Structure 1
């Protein structure tokens, strides 16, 4: 069974958008044991790549 949720906002700043995507990604990781979640958003991979990287990690 597939279920779908849509979140939209007209007045969100780019910083708030990035934080929202990172928080949704944390929820996705927490729920991995229970369900496979799929997040589709503009630049989602880019935001999560930069938002979850460690301080001492090299670019690559």
Structure 2
């Protein structure tokens, strides 16, 4: 096994991680709020669709 290549790989990984720009605390907070709100909207929409189709099925059958 070529340990020089393995060592270089981990050195390159460390250098890439230094170049990463991480989101600020505020960005993370805003993103979390967006995900929660969109998830709630989708859940409500799917619940309504399920309710409507359930009622339609009871009327048809």
Q: TM-score, normalised by structure 1?
A: 0.38
User: Which structure has greater helix proportion?
Assistant: 2
Name which structure has the greater RCO, CA cutoff 8 Å, separation 6+.
Answer: 1
Q: TM-score, normalised by structure 2?
A: 0.37
